[in-house]
Amino acid sequence: ISILGNHEIMNIQGDLRFVSQNDIKRIGGREERIKLFQPGSELCKLLSNRPLIYRYNGFIFCHGGLSMSMLEKNSIDEMNQQTKEWLLNQRNQPHFLENEDSPIWSRKFAFDMGSQEELNQILNLTNSTKMFVGHTVVDEIQSKYNNKFWLTDVGISSTFP
């Protein structure tokens, strides 16, 4: 399954900082790229089928990570639904995509700024046993917090050294 991450969301927001000039030129320029990723566009309709956060058999998969402060405001299902509605141009951008505690930006547990207790709370609240994230590049897949938090981004993309 493919989930949404910060690069897709940044393109939809019109933030092209991580898009190569070649990609911008290939699509016909900056304005064409922004139009391509505009909420309600054909591409965003396709992207709306991707979850922001995916749960399977007690495992959570998300790009950056989850926190209790995030989950106290919105459930996983609510965040997925609000993101989908935004991509379909049925609502404004959800507030939880705008800060560093977002499921696409958070590095709280990746940088050991969370506690085992908070991670356990998150996993219990979401009926999960482990969380898997990308976003933070590591030399090899590794686990933290008693094998309950897994960093899986090993930087295989040649685009971002």
Q: At 159, is the pLDDT very low, low, confident or very high (cuts 50, 70, 90)?
A: low
Answer yes or no: is pLDDT of 160 > 90: no
Long-range contacts of 111-118 (CB under 8 A, 24+ apart): 111/136, 112/144, 114/67, 114/145, 116/145, 116/146, 116/148, 118/67, 118/68
Q: At 158, is the pLDDT very low, low, confident or very high (cuts 50, 70, 90)?
A: low
Q: What does the pLDDT read at residue 68? A: 95
For residue 22, report the phi and psi dihedrals to the nearest 5 degrees.
-60, -45
Structure tokens at 140: 């090899």
